[in-house]
Structure 1
Amino acid sequence: MSLKSLTKTWEPMSYGFLDASAKREIRRKMLKAIAVPGCQIPYASREVPMARGWGTGGLQVSCTLINPGMQVKVIDQGADDSVNAASIRKFLARVSGAPTTMNTLEADLIQSRHRIPEEKLREDQILVLQVPNPEPLRPVQPNMSIARQMHADADYGRMWLQLYEQIVRSGRVMQGASYPSLVNGRFVMTPSPIPRWDVPKMDMAAHLTILSAGREKRLHAVPPYTRVEPLVFDDVPYRVEEHAALTCSRSGARGFFMNEIPQGDGTSTYEVSDSELGVKTIRCRDGEAAQVGETWYKSGEMV
């Protein structure tokens, strides 16, 4: 055995940016997270060329999963063309050589900030969600050591009390994004800052979802066909945002989650949050060839 046989030719960067040791660790932690749905798994979050809090957790998972044969889609608040989405998409393409796409139906790996696409995902697709704060108990228990013990004991009484107090004070649950949800009947998780509109999309979904928080150094997962149930009282049903009657001012799409755009006269117009769905709708309206996949919602109602 020689020293030369134990080394390899120097390269300026490992494939996918992360070194082999980091990828192995993240893969092991993802497998553990898949085996225990909703459970937060700690990992050694590496440094990437992006500030903490801007998607470093999701980027590390994507760099670990990506390969040259994958088509990658990156969205930010539903938009493919925002600065954050465009920067991450360009980075992933540069470090992996993987082709990029804006079409949800063509993507193999989808990294998202704060939204799940309106078109249903398939079994062969992977959704990576960026998570700024993975701990659902933090608002009711700031001591993380105690919070982890509460998870171990499945002690979520304080979360139920928080929801009850919101109903008593406001007449309804005021929790908006990051709605606490019970995964596989065991762990309560924070499903990223996705709106309430998107939470039902995770229930018994065909695709794998990996949620990663780089700043907090934790990840959790929702495997395919896993039950995800928002915490609700039996006599107070879960309500999504009231966007069913809204129409996109640009595409004419109706019955989907909308972005409100204030106007100078004090009124508001609305645009469909999923920008690619809006583009497809416009193309279909103009007689161009565009395939719109099956959507989670139809006329504002979950299918």
Structure 2
Amino acid sequence: MNANTHFAFLDEGSKKEIRRTILKAVAIPGYQTPFASREMPIARGWGTGGLQITLSIIGKADVLKVIDQGADESVNAVSIKKLVHETTGIELTESTQESTVIQSRHRIPEVPLTKDQVLVLQVPMPEPLRRVEAKEYITKRLHAEEEYSGAWLMLFEQIMKYGKTATDADHPVLVNGRYVMAPSPIPRFDNPKMHQSEALILLGAGREKKIYAVPPYTDVESLAFDDYPFKVESFAGQHCSLCGATDVFMDELIDSATGETIYQCNDTSYCLERLNEMKKVEVESTHA
């Protein structure tokens, strides 16, 4: 930790203001709470909202994991980990189970989270009604009046055009039976993980200056019509070419050697942990 910087980079006044905003967001699940987004040493749009939340809640005893689209080793994830570590000295990990704070872009880990963990999601566009209404003061009024016909119309138009809802990511959800919320650009596969999650989920949009939350054990329902129910991405009949997993979100790749289509776990640390466990079992069986 650099002696010339504040613990966790932000000054104490800024962290207190952000924590107060987080408390309000937790008290009103799914509600977009405005906050005074600070200038950060990374560009807006690269996770400044999530980073400010992480820096405001992190403590010396915490263990941090950072994911970027399922990977722990991407440029964005490595840069964020470096900044937090250099200004706090806290322990870093790639293991979901060992972490207490997880900051993520575009994914929720495959391993179920626990009540002792906090998931921080980076959000580029927090307003689920922005595609149908450009004016902020109008979307605020629509939320206040619980008027979400625009979100339903958007899904209806997709069904008319494509025969199904076409939201590959950021499919809107209804939180605690009240607010329609953008879950961040996670794939549809991850939406059900928010429902009744044991972990606290915090979502931050630095550029849009909004923080919102899904408290533990909160109902989260993906918007869908009765005759066109919500469906996650299907990988039926496929398995990870590395660890053999079948019940996870996978990336579709082309094998450079054969030219054939193969699948691999999108969550790289989950895949690595499965591989290590498989090797451990193999070694034990060899020595048995």
TM tier relative to shorter chain: over 0.9
* Residue type of the alignment partner of 1:284: E
| Gapped regions of structure 1 (runs ≥ 5) | 1-10, 290-303
* Residue type of the alignment partner of 1:257: F
| Aligned counterpart, 2:149 | 157
CA deviations on 1:231-258 (whole Å, 9 max, x unpaired) are 0111211100012332111222222100
- Structure with more of its chain in helix, by fraction: 2
CA deviations on 1:189-215 (whole Å, 9 max, x unpaired) are 100100000000000111100000001
| Residue 287 (structure 1) aligned to one of 269, 272, 280 | 280
1:35 equivalent to 2:27? Answer yes
| Gapped regions of structure 2 (runs ≥ 5) | 283-288
1:89 equivalent to 2:81? Answer yes
C-alpha contact (below 8 Å) 1:245/1:255 kept by paired residues: no
* Residue type of the alignment partner of 2:202: I
C-alpha contact (below 8 Å) 1:244/1:256 kept by paired residues: no
| Aligned counterpart, 1:223 | 215
Task: Give the TM-score, by structure 2 length.
Answer: 0.94
CA deviations on 1:161-189 (whole Å, 9 max, x unpaired) are 11111112211111110000000011001
| Aligned-partner SS, 2:143 | helix
The CA distance in 2 between the partners of 1:267 and 1:240, in whole Å, is 25
1:269 equivalent to 2:262? Answer yes
The CA distance in 1 between the partners of 2:21 and 2:55, in whole Å, is 14
Matched ranges for 1:124-163 at <5 A:
124-163=116-155
The CA distance in 2 between the partners of 1:53 and 1:268, in whole Å, is 32
| Residue 188 (structure 2) aligned to one of 167, 185, 196 | 196
| Aligned counterpart, 1:6 | none
Give 1:263 shift.
4.3
| Aligned-partner SS, 1:185 | coil
The CA distance in 1 between the partners of 2:259 and 2:222, in whole Å, is 35
The CA distance in 1 between the partners of 2:65 and 2:150, in whole Å, is 38
C-alpha contact (below 8 Å) 1:154/1:187 kept by paired residues: yes
Give 1:262 shift.
3.0
The CA distance in 1 between the partners of 2:260 and 2:108, in whole Å, is 28
* Residue type of the alignment partner of 2:15: K
Quote the sequence identity (%).
49
1:259 equivalent to 2:251? Answer yes
The CA distance in 2 between the partners of 1:284 and 1:15, in whole Å, is 37
Task: Give the TM-score, by structure 1 length.
Answer: 0.89
1:79 equivalent to 2:71? Answer yes
Give 1:158 shift.
1.2
C-alpha contact (below 8 Å) 1:259/1:270 kept by paired residues: yes
| Aligned counterpart, 1:236 | 228
| Residue 179 (structure 2) aligned to one of 187, 196, 210 | 187
| Aligned counterpart, 1:100 | 92
1:46 equivalent to 2:33? Answer no
CA deviations on 1:20-73 (whole Å, 9 max, x unpaired) are 111011000000000000000010110111011001111000000111100000
The more displaced of 237-246 and 154-163 is: 237-246
C-alpha contact (below 8 Å) 1:118/1:274 kept by paired residues: yes
The CA distance in 2 between the partners of 1:275 and 1:22, in whole Å, is 34
Matched ranges for 1:4-43 at <5 A:
12-43=4-35
The CA distance in 2 between the partners of 1:143 and 1:245, in whole Å, is 45
| Aligned-partner SS, 2:110 | coil
Q: Give the paired residue count.
A: 279
